[in-house]
Structure 1
Amino acid sequence: MQHATAYNSLNDSPRKSPTTHPEAREEENTAQARTMHTRSAENHTRECTVDDFYATYITPKGWKRVNNTSMRGIISKLTEGGHINEDGQWRDLLTDEKFHGENAHFGRLAKVVEAVVEAASSQMPRRFAKNKRTCLFNSRPDNETLSEVEGSSFHVDAFNHFAKSTYTSDSSSGSAQYTTLGSGSGNTCNINTADVTFSYEFKLQKDDKKVLDDDMKTIGAAGHYLFADLRRASHFALTSEGKWARLWNHSRSHSAVTLFFDIHKNKEELIQGILFSSFADEFQLGFDPTVVRVLDSKKYWQYQFDVCHNDGTTHTYQTTEILHENCAAALYTRAMRVFKVRRVSERGDGLSLLDCDDNVLRDYWLWDDDDTLLEREIQNSLRAKFKEAAASDEEFEEIWKHFLHIEADGVVAWNGYRDAVPAPPAASTPYKFADPLNPKGSKSSKARVEGSTPRQEAGYIGPARPAQLESAPLQLHGRKHCRTLYTEVCVDLYKVDDPALFFFALEESVFTISWLRRVDSMHRDMSPGNTMLWQLAAADESNSPSKKPLCERYVTKMADLEYLKDYDKISMHDPITGTGDYMAIEVSHRMHLFYDSGLSGLLARRYFSYNFLHDLESILWMALDFVMHRMPRDRLLDKATWATCREHAVCMVSHANRLFVNTTEPVSARELLIKDVEASEELKETLASVYGLESPLVALADLLPTLRRTYKTVEDSTIVPHGSTRNAPQVTERMAASLFHANAKIYDDARKVFRDIITHYTPSEGLQPLVLLSQVDLQTGELLISEPAEGSKDQPMHDISPTATAHQEPPASAESECTTRKRKSADAARAKPAKRARTTPAPAPQKAPRKAAPHKQPATEHVILRRSKRLQASAESNAGGQQQGTTKSTKGSGSKKR
């Protein structure tokens, strides 16, 4: 059996050559990760004074700056000890020619840190006693850390870490990451990266290029640290170029950086920073005290969360499995993570799981403003509307069962403190990053050859264009840290391969959004990740899938109601929401597309906002995404049939790759498929060729022109009121909701097509009837993965609930333990992209997130900090050519230079 070229599709971008050496790919990934984080930071970074920085991000959590009197005493002690010279400068931080290189120079910062701690403990023993020190300083510029996110790495010159270490030699990543930082010979200190509290970047001189390099590295490192441990609400850092330094705070809302200060003339600020990073507690350093990391019975790291229930009681829950995690997320996002959890009897004890039902816990960050409601608040409002609209209690229960039951929901709080990231200081200004291609901002030289006319001048490229106005800086708000606990443990549609079950969920989703339309509400982010299946009860021997209908075994749940909004509250100025792969084409265009251009006075010409049909369109894209990446197993295994449909299957996959792109920008292939009748007919022919003329999946193509006609009917029906101007539309100027109610037949059409598919693919005891084309060699028709034994089930219909495998024993061997670090090729081929990046607002397109796999590594694997190639070669040379294996990473024989 032929296999594709070996490379990890979860680690590497599809644009990278799989033949490239892994270290080269990792280096490229690192550079791209830094660039991604920096691009998103360009409009999310504010510059402020040092005083404003402390007042906004540090002192509200209880940290007090050292007063002037005590500071003079500390400086006096440092002067007496010879650490500050007669000119008032740090003796060990002078850029003197006798110090060659950054390592020799900034390695001396460790002496400064320890001297400051010693002086402070002598001057203020009650506050800065050495036994009260919470964090230790570690300078190691020669080493490079491995990544907390697969496929890239990050570097910091130095960092602070908790004095009380959580390093455990024989533990591994579970729901919580576990990566160990170590160093080369002479340093036996091993550090769990979750213990890192503060990071540093250094340069010997200050120029735009070096400043930009430090900017990118501190932002990239923050992206890794905040991903590595969800306890972090923010991450503090310091960058220094020559004698100039700045403090940073990176959060889920924005990054803040101070103005440059001279560490010699304003040595007080360096001392303040050293004392804060050495003596502040976890809470003050940006950690969430309501979460702890524990080791479970198998020595896998898990989280324990304190959760305040709706009745006011607080209980602790421990993670047992990851259900959703965005591993390539940018800094400034909701950072949503979803876990399967179970209550524990004792906080901090990973062995105290109670014998009770599992729950689902969602941890995330929302905008901290009055318009952003908690999910329980949204549900309460929606429940009241359904109650009023339903004709009976039975009708109400029929729709309300499609929403998750919330046990707890609210903003995380601790000792009266509400966990929220503040907005930037009012006096802060947008921070301007240097241009990577032109850090100095040099202007192009004037043409040396000039003619008598502009067109004869050397370098003339056309008529002069008016200078583009700079876009207004993004208005940044704070974010509030939220936590929601659900009763039902569900499976999202990304993990469902069975066509009957998948389209059962879509049919019930159309039913649900039809009810939302009845109460004038919209979800605005329909996607497989927000469409959940809850298994009512597991089948037993007497209750096989063929004996019980799907509706009696499963319920579709609509999740993630953050963007749900009433139609009459939608504004043309609202941010665009949705998941890129399934976003309605009008939403991505930010304009209506189907009205008759020959008609004048139409509202659709000048006003756009999200409407009910956009949710339905997203569901249709979900359906097509499912079928266009698969084909029938029986037609694949029949060589004669495969020979006739191979070309169509290849064409269908190519078309799907153009249709389903994770971007918020318009996708021309998707637009063409709805607007052009011939395009939808060609799709219908392709589906008929791949699935067979009799397959009900072919009818999916007919829904697209029906949707186009419905759009057109609605958009051609509203005339702008007389007297309104283009620049000042009336608040009431939106297409009436009654128009959508009157043209709602398409909901029934879609449900009928989905029901026909469900009937056609009635679950059986055999293999799944469809095969992912990513598992097929499109040249030969051979499967690229091993076929299950005859009679076995790829994914039994009666056993998709994660509860069924919640507490199985971990794999016995490292070979079978294929999760966080490496996946089996079969899993990598089978995996569909997980829930996509949110779009309010959206940075550059990101790598598809990883979902649902528990973090497990072999207990013997410890990823350590690596020495640079230069030092490694030197060590080997000094040892007479003997290989120093103990100084190398477990992942390779050396690392890249920084």
Structure 2
Amino acid sequence: MTPPRQNTALSQAPSTTPAKAKTTAGSTFNTSKLEGKRNVMFESTRLLLIPNERMEAILPLPEWVAACVEQLSDSHPVFTGKEWDDLPHLTTKDQTSTLVGKEDEVFQAYRPLHELIVKTCGSWPGSSEARPVLLRPKNTPKSTLKENSSRPDGANPKDSSLKIEWDKERYVWVDLFSAYEFKNANEKNLVGLMGIQNTKQIIWDLQHMLWENINRRFAVGMTIEETEARLWVATRSAILVSTGFDTQTERKRLFRTFAFFAFADQTALGLDPTMRMPKGADFFLVNIDGKRYQVRKRPIADHRARALHGSACRVYEAWLVNDDANRLPKTDVADLKRAKRVAIKEVWRDEYREPERKIYDRVMKAIKEIEKRSPEKLNLRPGDKAEDYFVNISGDEEVMVNGVRDGTAGIMAGKEFPKGAAWIKTSLGMQTGRDDRIGVYSPSMLNSEGGEGRKEISLKAKSGELVPSPPSPHTLPQIHHRVHYRTVMDNIGEPLHHIARLDVAFKALADVVQACKIMCIAGFNHRDLSPGNIIVDEKNERGRLSDLEFAKIHMSDGAGHHVRTGTPDFMAVEVLRGFYMFDPNEPEDGDKDFPLRHNAGHDLESIFWIAIFMLYNSMVDDEDQAEHAIDQRKGRDEIFDSQYRKDLFLSGRELGRKMAQHFDGSSFKAMKHVLEMQKSLKVAYTEFEAGLSDEDQGKERNTHFLKVHDYFGEKLLEMSAIFKGKKCERVDDILRADRRKLKATQLNQEVDS
């Protein structure tokens, strides 16, 4: 039996903490039931209403289909048949118009119409095989990555070879190339245009398609509420929804829509033609920087890909099978044991940021210059090289689709939108163009037509009712566009948060402190430290620092140096607040006289928070695992609230009280080391900020923190020694394994309360 938690001299922390924002990265999303997850996804969506004509430009028909549709006049016999008469019609009763009948039966009428459209287009020269339409399934699609209990109301599978009997077989999300959601009624409770529930469902479908299918660049779908249809396109920057059309009165537009879903090529439907997928294989082939790689389909890490918007980072295990991508596949290395093994990272990076490899090369050039001329400054262990502490990048490439750089601006057919485009705010504070990682607000851009007559659709603050704002000239917030980008990394390993053994984790974190020290000596700050950016090398369990895309020279005055960067849960509290907080001459409100400049201390503070996270991430020698795991994860989520973290960091005793509720034995000993790290960093902050002046403003004294690097490294190695030989298991793994034994309601209440 595990002994009871030790009573310490520290009193209990307050029982309540500020609520943590709900995102797809939080435990609320992971443990909520389906409706709760849909709510989180809906509230984090950037939703842009665009004219039907713009949507048709984004979703182009194949040339032969476009020619077929073009020659059909509105009075053509194809638009007057029984298939149209049988479509759902509105019936007026008690001054209310509704569709009569059960949804399962009402919307089956679209199946014969689809067959008519396929037959009409199929007789046109150059026609190809059509995809079938599947409507109103009773079974849920199988998920390859996660548990799934939802299903779309309809879809198009990738081709006609998939003879899916929806009521009998278990189909998979990966095979669906579109998603439909239907409703008999249009409640119009979302800005007076459409139903909130149906909107949540289609957003959920599109998110499934983007996450499940690794070669999806964007996802497409359609909603029909009563007789109003809308097209949807989900990208990594925003979701676009068309203004809608009536399925009875705009028959040619509906014809075009079904023809698109039936005949559009895979690239037009959002798939990536640069990823070659051999049939039945567990790998795909991709060319990067003139070389061909064989890539295992299942990612090493894909946590960021779960969110609809953002970098969608996925990391894969891969092998270099041909150093000349122009050579025939038959010349590829067949025996992977002889091939160079690498990791490939795929992201949608901010289009205004430099490619990561360019930044990496700049940082490593500066480090190697010091290593060559003044190696004593780095003080490396015998036999070590500076590059041993970093994940090394050996190749990169911006993805090109049909000869054009692949990015969300291209997917959306341009950056500017015509008159009639408007944001639909799904929650307060959304649709600002805010970057999902750095919290920086993008500038606004004036619409190409000057913005006259457009409306911004927003959320009314007091009542929560969704209403249109009064019409007025304004600027449409700029979409935070992203570019499809791949890098090749020479080191394979697990991200730090996947590591259960705390002796390994803290030793790896000590290595990363050394990497940060090396960067500091070379004049750089990392500015985005998180467990996901620390790789534990599988060969020697060395910690390696990765993701240098936000790294900057400390003394530079370039754009973006003063803005907040980092992963919010691990960002230094000064960076979160935007001003210096430890100037002894400004003890009350902090020092706002000098612009905050990211310094080496802020990187060290991120490491401090990562150390706390890792303590909460694993259970040590605990037999009552499930019971204590829930409590420990709840404590972790409370601490990693941005406002509460600020209070905890300013008050070391408060942090000690909070952590003492959850730790005993080895973890309690390690906790004391963490608190000593905090104390040393606060002293260094105070000394650094006391010396701020109009001439210096902190630019010249980044190396002030070098002694703190050494102290952090020593403490982390001592923490590693504490856990040597201890049995450790990740909290999330414990809860996942025990989920079937726990009542779902208990788990939800314990974690979300």
TM-score (norm 2): 0.75
Partner Cα separation in structure 2 for residue 348 and residue 206 of structure 1 = 56
Shift of 1:294: 4.8
Retained in 2: the 8 A contact 1:683–1:701? no
**Aligned partner of 1:282: which letter?**
Q
Match of 2:262 among 278, 283, 292: 278
Map of 1:355 onto structure 2:
337
**Secondary structure of 1:104 counterpart:** helix
Counterpart selection for 1:769 from 726, 731, 738: 726
Going from structure 1 to structure 2, the CA distance change for 1:64 and 1:584 (only over 3 Å counts) comes to: farther
Q: Does 1:336 align with 2:336?
A: no
CA distance in 1 between counterparts of 2:50 and 2:661 reads 58
Secondary structure, aligned partner of 1:577: coil
2:684 is paired with a residue whose SS is helix
Contact kept, 8 Å, 2:43 with 2:426, in 1: the verdict is no
Change (3 A) 1:496 1:828: farther
Query: Hey, what does 1:464 align to over in structure 2?
Result: none
Aligned to 2:15: none
Residue 674 of structure 2 corresponds to residue 674 of structure 1: no
Which stretch of structure 1 is more off in the superposition, 515-524 or 749-758?
A: 749-758
Partner of 2:571: 583
Q: Distance in 2 between matches of 1:83 and 1:690?
A: 73
Tell me how far apart the structure 2 counterparts of residues 348 and 102 of structure 1 sit (CA, whole Å): 53
Q: Which deviates the most, 653-662 or 744-753?
A: 653-662
Output the CA distance in 1 between the equivalents of 2:286 and 2:602: 38
1:736 counterpart = 2:698:
yes
The whole-number CA distance in structure 2 between the counterparts of 1:498 and 1:440 is 48
Tell me the equivalent position of 1:426.
417
Q: Please show how residues 483-632 of structure 1 align to structure 2 within 5 Å.
A: 483-536=486-539, 553-567=540-554, 568-569=556-557, 576-596=564-584, 598=586, 604-605=592-593, 607-627=595-615
* Structure 1 residue 324: Cα displacement: 0.8
Q: How does 1:769-788 map to 2 (within 5 A)?
A: 769=726, 771=728
The 3-state SS of whatever aligns with 2:389 is coil
Higher relative contact order (Cα pairs below 8 Å, separated by 6+ residues): 1
Residues in 1 aligned to 2:156 and 2:718: alpha-carbon distance in whole angstroms: 61
For 1:95, the equivalent position in structure 2 comes to 90
What secondary structure does 2:120 align onto?
Answer: helix
What residue in structure 2 maps to residue 183 of structure 1? Answer: 166
Map of 2:435 onto structure 1 = none
Instruction: Spell out, residue by residue over 1:781-802, the C-alpha distance to the aligned partner (whole angstroms, 9 max, x if none).
Output: xxx99xxxxxxxxxxxxxxxxx
Shift in Å, 1:143: 5.1
Distance in structure 1 (CA, Å) of the matches to 2:704 and 2:458: 61
2:118 aligned residue:
117
What is the deviation of 1:204? 3.0
1:199 equivalent in alignment to 2:179: yes
- Report the equivalent of 2:10: none
Q: 2:448: which partner in 1?
A: none
Q: Is 1:366–1:372's contact at 8 Å kept on the other side of the alignment? A: no
Instruction: Tell me which of 39, 53, 56 is aligned to 1:54.
Output: 56
**Aligned-pair RMSD on alpha carbons?**
4.7
Which letter does structure 1 place at the counterpart of 2:72?
A: R
> Hey, what does 2:204 align to over in structure 1?
220
Compared CA separation, residues 654 and 29, structure 1 to 2 (3 A): closer
In structure 2, do the counterparts of structure 1 residues 632 and 440 end up closer, same or farther at CA, with 3 Å as the change threshold? Answer: closer
Contact kept? 2:179, 2:222, Cα under 8 Å: yes
Closer, same or farther: CA 653–253 of 1 in aligned 2, 3 Å: closer
Task: Measure how far apart 1:511 and its partner are.
Answer: 1.4
Query: CA 1:685/1:494 → structure 2, altered by over 3 Å: closer, same or farther?
Result: closer
| Paired AA for residue 355 in structure 2 | L
Do the aligned residues in 1 keep the contact of 2:293 with 2:318 (CA within 8 Å)?
no
Q: SS in structure 1 opposite 2:72?
A: helix
Distance 1:261 1:684 in 2: 57
> What are the superposed Cα offsets for residues 54-112 of structure 1, whole Å, 9 maximum, x if unpaired?
33x234x976873598342586141464445xxxxx55343358952322222111111
Give the Cα separation in 2 of the matches to 1:365 and 1:229.
Answer: 15
Which whole-Å deviations, capped at 9, do the CAs of 1:109-152 have from their partners, x for residues lacking one? 11111112222333xx213x3xx024221112555545566344
Residue aligning to 2:78:
78
1:399-410, aligned counterparts within 5 Å? 399-410=386-397
Larger Rg: 1
Conserved? CA contact 2:181–2:202, under 8 Å: yes
Q: Which residue of 1 aligns with 2:42?
A: 38
Q: How far apart, CA to CA, are the structure 1 residues paired with 2:153 and 2:227?
A: 16
Corresponding residue pairs, total: 660
Per-residue CA deviation, residues 189-218 of structure 1 (Å, 9 max, x unaligned), is x64432211222222343314622221111
Secondary structure of 1:271's aligned partner: helix
> What residue in structure 1 maps to residue 385 of structure 2?
398
Q: Is the alpha carbon distance of 1:658 and 1:692 closer, same or farther for their aligned partners in structure 2, counting shifts above 3 Å?
A: closer
Give the drift of 1:285. 1.0
* Distance in structure 1 (CA, Å) of the matches to 2:367 and 2:237: 35
Quote how far apart the aligned CAs of 1:356 are: 2.6
SS in 2 for 1:72: coil
- Secondary structure at the counterpart of residue 195 of structure 2: helix
Tell me the equivalent position of 2:66.
66
CA distance in 2, matches of 1:508, 1:521: 17
Letter in 2 for 1:392: R
Q: Which amino acid aligns with 1:753?
A: K
Instruction: Return the alpha-carbon distance in structure 1 between the equivalents of residues 473 and 40 of structure 2.
Output: 21
Q: Distance in 2 between matches of 1:12 and 1:402?
A: 28
Shift of 1:254: 0.9
Gaps of 5+ in 1: 3-10, 17-24, 85-89, 168-180, 446-466, 537-552, 722-733, 776-783, 786-821, 830-846, 849-898
Cα distance, 1:12 vs. partner? Answer: 13
CA drift of 1:47 comes to 1.4
Corresponding position of 1:460? none
For 1:333 and 1:236, the matched residues in 2 are separated by: 18
Residue 39 of structure 1 deviates from its aligned partner by: 0.9
Q: 1:65 to 1:675 in 2, by over 3 A?
A: same
Q: What residue identity is the alignment partner of 2:423?
A: Y
What is the Cα deviation at residue 243 of structure 1? 2.6
Q: Once the 2 structures are TM-superposed, how far is the Cα of residue 517 of structure 1 from its aligned partner?
A: 1.8
- AA matched with 2:187: D
For residue 197 of structure 1, give the secondary structure of its aligned residue in structure 2: coil
- Counterpart residue number, 2:301: 324
CA contact (8 A) 2:210 2:219 kept: yes
| C-alpha distance 71-612 of structure 1, shift in aligned 2 (>3 A) | farther
When residues 572 and 135 of structure 1 are mapped into structure 2, their CA distance, relative to the original with a 3 A threshold, is same
Of residues 400, 408, 411, the one that matches 2:398 is 411
* 2:683 aligned residue (705, 709, 712): 709
Offset of 1:757 from its aligned partner? Answer: 4.4
Distance 2:720 2:238 in 1: 46
Contact 1:589-1:666 within 8 A present in 2 as well: no
1:387 equivalent in structure 2: 368
CA distance in structure 2 between the partners assigned to 1:509 and 1:199 by the alignment: 44
Q: Which amino acid aligns with 1:750?
A: F
Q: Do the aligned partners of residues 66 and 36 (structure 1) sit closer, same or farther apart at CA in structure 2, a change above 3 Å counting?
A: same
* Residue type at the aligned position of 2:665: V
Distance change in 2, residues 1:470/1:555 (3 Å): farther
What is the rounded CA distance, in whole Å, between the counterparts of 1:827 and 1:347 in structure 2? 46
Q: Secondary structure at the match of 1:118?
A: helix
Letter in 2 for 1:51: E
Q: Unaligned regions of 5+ residues in structure 2, if any?
A: 3-23, 93-98, 323-327, 379-383, 429-456, 464-469, 743-750
Hey, what's the Cα distance between the residues in 1 that align with 2:224 and 2:697?
56
Structure 1 443/717 Cα, relative in aligned 2: closer, same or farther at 3 Å?
closer
Please tell me whether the aligned partners of residues 534 and 557 of structure 1 are also in contact (alpha carbons under 8 angstroms): yes
Pick closer, same or farther for the CA change 1:619–1:183 going to 2, 3 Å: same
Paired residue for 1:159, among 139, 155, 158? 155
What is the deviation of 1:368? 4.7
Q: Evaluate the alpha carbon distance shift between residue 234 and residue 528 of structure 1 in structure 2; reply closer, same or farther with a 3 A threshold.
A: same
Shift of 1:586: 2.1
Residue aligning to 1:796? none
